[in-house]
Amino acid sequence: MPQSCKMLFNSLHHSPSQRPPIFAATPESLRTDARALVERTQKVWNEIVNTVKPESATFTNIIEPIIRDENAKSTSMRLLRFYASTSPSKALRDASNAVVTLFTDSEVELFARADMYALVDVVMAQHLTDNGLSIEARNYLEKLHRRFWQNGCGITDTAVKSNFERSQKRLKDLERECNKNLHDEKTGLWLTREELKGVPSSFMSRLKEGEGEHEGHFWVATKVPQSSPVMKHATMEATRKKMFYAIQNRMPENVPLFRELVLLRDETARILGYPNHAALRTSNKMVRNPETVISLLFEIKSRLVPRGAEYARELLELKRKETAARGEASDQIFLWDQSYYSHMQAEKEKAHGAELSEYFELHTTLAKLLQMFEHMFATRFELITPEQQRDIGDNRPLIWHEDVLMFAVFDSDTEYFMGYAYFDFYPREGKYTHVGHYSLQANFLQPDGTRFHASSVLVMNYNKTADRPTLLSLEEVRKLFHEIGHLIHALCTETTYSASQYVDRDFIEAPSLMFEQFFWQARHIKDVSFHYSHISPRYKEIWEASLPEEQRQFANKMPPEAQLQDGVVAALAKSSSGWNIVREQLKDVFFSIFDMTIHTPTSHEVLGAMNLAEVFNKLKSEIYSLPGGEATGDGWEWGHGEAVFRNVINNYDAGYYGYVL
C-alpha cells in the first residue's frame, strides 16, 4: 500500500460489527468447502421433499428452509468463485474454476428436480390470489417458481428432459471456458520504435523490450491498458490497423465456443416453449419481452446513427488535414482511426499545457470520489491498513493481493457498520481483464434478527508504474465513478433474503448511469481534479522531470494550477452531451442490437446459417459509419470481435440494452 494512502483516506477508528472474509484458501480447501456447501443444500432439499407432502406444503415449510440455506451459503459461495478472477496463483484460479463447475452442475440438477418443483408449484398456486406474503417474499417465490420452469421442470418427456439437462450443463461449461480464455489471454504484438512513433515515452518506458529475434521491438499486449494508448497515439495508420486487427482477432479458440453457446441457448429456449433465447431472458426482466427492447433500440438507432455519421465526417476532415500536412492524401477513415482522431479532436481538453490526466492521480481521485459518495449517502469509508488487517485477521490474510485497498464502511450519522469495500486496481497475469463490480457477500437478515453485511469489490486494470503516479483519463474517472455506484448500491441495500440483493438485470446499470449524470456537473469535475505535482514533493519532482528541458527552469515560477480552472471544467461538462457521449452511445447501441440480433432469430435454422462475425462487423460499420477491413479487401470476416464480447458471454445475454435504458 502506498504511504500516501494513509494520508488520503480516513483511517479505521470504528470497530466493524462483523469480521471480514479471510483469503487463506488452498486449492484443496476450495474444493472441500465447495463440496460441503453442495452437500448441505442437497441435504436441506432432501429433507423438505421427504417430510412434506404436497397437500401440506406452505411458504413456511417449503420456501423458508430454501431461503435459510441460500442465506447461509451466500456468505462463502461467491468467495470461493472469486479466486478464479483475481488470485495471483494459477493453482487457486484453476481450483476456483473447478468449484464454479461444481456449483453450476449442482444448480442445474437441483432446479431440474420434479419433486421439489411439485411442492413449490403448490405454494405458488396458494399465493396467486392470497396477498399474505410481503412484497419481497412474493417476488422471491415468483422467481423461484420461474427458475424451476426454465430449468426444464415442465418437460414431461423423460428423454427430452435428460437431453435438456445435459445442454444446460454444457451451456455453463461454454461460458466458463470462454471466460477462462478471456482471463488467461496473453496475445500481443512486437512493434518497432518507428511503428510506435507518437506514443508517449512515459508509456514506452513501461513496455517489455525484445531480445534476440525481437531485439529493437517492444511487446504491446492486446489488453486495454496497453493497446489503448497505441490506438490513441500511434501516428502511423499501419500500426493502428495492425493493433486493431490483433485486438479483433485475439483468442480464436473462443470463436467455435461462442457459436456453440449462441446456438445452444436458442435450442434450449425453444425446448421450453419460448420463440427464442431473448424471450426467455426478458421474461425475467423489467421489460418482459424482446419486442419492446428491439423497438426501443431501433428508435434510438434512427436518431443516433445520423449524429454518428456527422461525427465520422468530422474525424475524416481531421485526417485529411493531418495527412496533408505530411504531404499525403487520405479520403477515407476507418474503424482503426477512430481512437486516434477522437483523441486529436479532444486536444482542447488540455489545461495550461498539462495533460488533463495529470489532474487525476489514481489514489487522490479515488479519495475525492469517495468523499462525494460519503456526502450524498452519509457514509464513511475507513481505510484498513496492513497493520490493522493483521490485527483484525489474527495474522490471516484479509486481501488476495498486496495492491488491494480494503475499507470498512459506516453510516456517518449513526456509526452503523454497513460492510466492506475493496479496490483491486492493477492488471496481473490471470486476472479479470476488464473493469467490474463483484459482490462477495450479500446483505441479509440472520435467524437471530441481526444483519449480515455486504462485502463488495471493484476490479479495475490501470497501468501501474514503479517510478510515476498512475494517472487517469477523464473517461477512466467516469468509469471509476460508475463502478463505485455499483459498490454503493450493494452496500446500501438491506433485504431480508440474500437473493433479493440482485435486482433485475436490466435495472442493474440504472443507479450507476444516474450517478454519471451527477459526475458530469462542472463543479463536481473541479472538486475531483487535483494536479499530481501538488500531492507531494516527490510527485512535484517527477512532474518537473517530465517537462521538456527548456521548460524546467520555469517550473517553480509557473506551476500548474492545483485544480482545473472553471472554463476548462465547464467545457468538459459540456462535452458530456457532445461527441464523447455520442461515442459511448454508439458503442452501447451497437452491442445491444447485436446482442438482440443473435438471440432473436426467426428460427433455429436461420441462426445456424448466420455468419456471426459478418453480422458483428457489418453492424459495427453501419452504426459507427466507419468501414473496417472489408474496405481494404479483407471481406466481412476480417475480425471476430463477437467471440470476445464478454458481457453477452456472461449474464448480459439478451440484456446489454440495460446500458441504454
Q: Where is average pLDDT lowest: 73-77, 128-132, 437-441?
A: 128-132
Q: Where is average pLDDT lowest: 180-194, 267-281, 603-617?
A: 180-194
Q: Where is average pLDDT lowest: 2-6, 92-96, 396-400, 487-491?
A: 2-6
| Interacting residues of 76 by C-beta distance below 8 A, sequence separation 6+ | 33, 37
Helix axes 77-86, 27-51, angle to 10 degrees: 150
* Euclidean distance between CA atoms 521 and 518, whole angstroms: 6
Q: How confident is the model at residue 573 (pLDDT cuts 50, 70, 90)?
A: confident
Q: What is the pLDDT of residues 45-60, one digit of tens each?
A: 999 999 999 999 999 9
Q: How confident is the model at residue 465 (pLDDT cuts 50, 70, 90)?
A: confident
- For 394, which DSSP code? T
Other beta carbons within 10 Å of 594: 22
The stretch 519-536 carries a mean pLDDT of 94
Rounded alpha-carbon distances, angstroms, from residue 260 to 72, 253, 642, 645:
35, 12, 13, 14
649: left (phi over 0), alpha (psi -120 to 50) or beta: alpha
0.95 exceeded by the pTM?
Answer: no
483 belongs to the catalytic site: yes
Q: What is the signed CA dihedral for 39, 45, 49, 50, rounded to 10 degrees? A: 40
171: nearest Cα among 285, 266, 79: 266
* Euclidean distance between CA atoms 426 and 404, whole angstroms: 9
346/179: higher pLDDT:
179
pLDDT of 579 = 74
The stretch 81-88 carries a mean pLDDT of 97
pLDDT > 70 in the chain, percent: 98
Maximum average pLDDT range among 1-10, 74-83, 100-109, 170-179: 74-83
Other beta carbons within 10 Å of 555: 16
* Euclidean distance between CA atoms 109 and 103, whole angstroms: 10
Rounded alpha-carbon distances, angstroms, from residue 262 to 178, 278, 501:
12, 11, 28
Q: What is the pLDDT of residues 96-143, one digit of tens each?
A: 999 999 999 999 999 999 999 999 999 999 998 777 899 999 999 999
In degrees rounded to 5, what are phi and psi of residue 69? -65, -45
Share in percent of the chain as helix, strand, coil (round to 5): 60, 10, 30
* Euclidean distance between CA atoms 543 and 468, whole angstroms: 9
Q: How confident is the model at residue 410 (pLDDT cuts 50, 70, 90)?
A: very high
132/77: higher pLDDT:
77
Rounded alpha-carbon distances, angstroms, from residue 382 to 204, 418, 420, 483, 491:
36, 11, 9, 19, 14
361: nearest Cα among 1, 5, 86: 5
* Euclidean distance between CA atoms 647 and 661, whole angstroms: 16
73: nearest Cα among 28, 103, 96: 103
pLDDT of 463 = 86
* Euclidean distance between CA atoms 152 and 294, whole angstroms: 27
Q: How confident is the model at residue 351 (pLDDT cuts 50, 70, 90)?
A: very low
The stretch 374-382 carries a mean pLDDT of 96
3-state secondary structure (DSSP) of residue 273: coil
Burial label for 360, CB within 10 Å (0-12, 13-18, 19+), is buried
CA–chain centroid gap for 190, Å, is: 28
pLDDT of 551 = 78
Beta strand pairing status for 454-459 and 405-411? unpaired
In degrees rounded to 5, what are phi and psi of residue 313? -65, -40
In degrees rounded to 5, what are phi and psi of residue 210? -80, 160
pLDDT of 578 = 65
3-state secondary structure (DSSP) of residue 423: strand
* Euclidean distance between CA atoms 203 and 137, whole angstroms: 53
Helix axes 64-74, 27-51, angle to 10 degrees: 170
* Euclidean distance between CA atoms 65 and 130, whole angstroms: 21
Assigned C-alpha cell, 635: 471481406
Q: Where is average pLDDT lowest: 344-358, 383-397, 410-424, 499-513?
A: 344-358
Residue 86 above 90 pLDDT?
Answer: yes
Assigned C-alpha cell, 387: 497493520
Assigned C-alpha cell, 107: 444448480
pLDDT of 577 = 59
CB burial readout 457-472, b (16+ within 10 A) else e: bbbbbbbeeeebbbbb
- State which H helix or E strand residue 615 sits in: helix 612-624
* Euclidean distance between CA atoms 111 and 45, whole angstroms: 11
Rounded alpha-carbon distances, angstroms, from residue 588 to 92, 231, 309, 619, 655:
34, 20, 16, 12, 11
In degrees rounded to 5, what are phi and psi of residue 599? -110, 10
Q: What angle do CA 602, 608, 612 make, to 5 degrees?
A: 95
* Chain position carrying cell 455506484: 485
The residue from 165, 483, 516, 642 that is catalytic is 483
Q: How confident is the model at residue 559 (pLDDT cuts 50, 70, 90)?
A: confident
pLDDT of 558 = 80
Beta strand pairing status for 454-459 and 417-424? parallel
* Euclidean distance between CA atoms 170 and 182, whole angstroms: 18
The stretch 455-465 carries a mean pLDDT of 93
Residue 352 above 70 pLDDT?
Answer: no
| Interacting residues of 324 by C-beta distance below 8 A, sequence separation 6+ | none
Q: What angle do CA 348, 314, 193 make, to 5 degrees?
A: 65
Other beta carbons within 10 Å of 236: 15
Beta strand pairing status for 379-383 and 405-411? antiparallel
Beta strand pairing status for 10-11 and 379-383? parallel
402: nearest Cα among 38, 648, 87, 48: 87
pLDDT of 353 = 37
Residue 554 above 80 pLDDT?
Answer: no
330: left (phi over 0), alpha (psi -120 to 50) or beta: beta
Q: What angle do CA 245, 323, 639 make, to 5 degrees?
A: 10
- State which H helix or E strand residue 370 sits in: helix 362-377
pLDDT of 120 = 98
Hey, what domains does the chain have and what are their CATH numbers? 27-183 (1.20.1050.40), 185-248 (no CATH), 254-330+579-659 (1.10.1370.10)
Burial label for 558, CB within 10 Å (0-12, 13-18, 19+), is exposed
* Euclidean distance between CA atoms 122 and 124, whole angstroms: 5
Assigned C-alpha cell, 601: 432469430
pLDDT of 555 = 73
3-state secondary structure (DSSP) of residue 406: strand
* Euclidean distance between CA atoms 173 and 179, whole angstroms: 10
Q: What is the pLDDT of residues 622-647, one digit of tens each?
A: 999 999 999 999 999 999 999 999 99
pLDDT of 348 = 52
Q: Euclidean distance between the first and final Cα of the chain, in Å?
A: 38
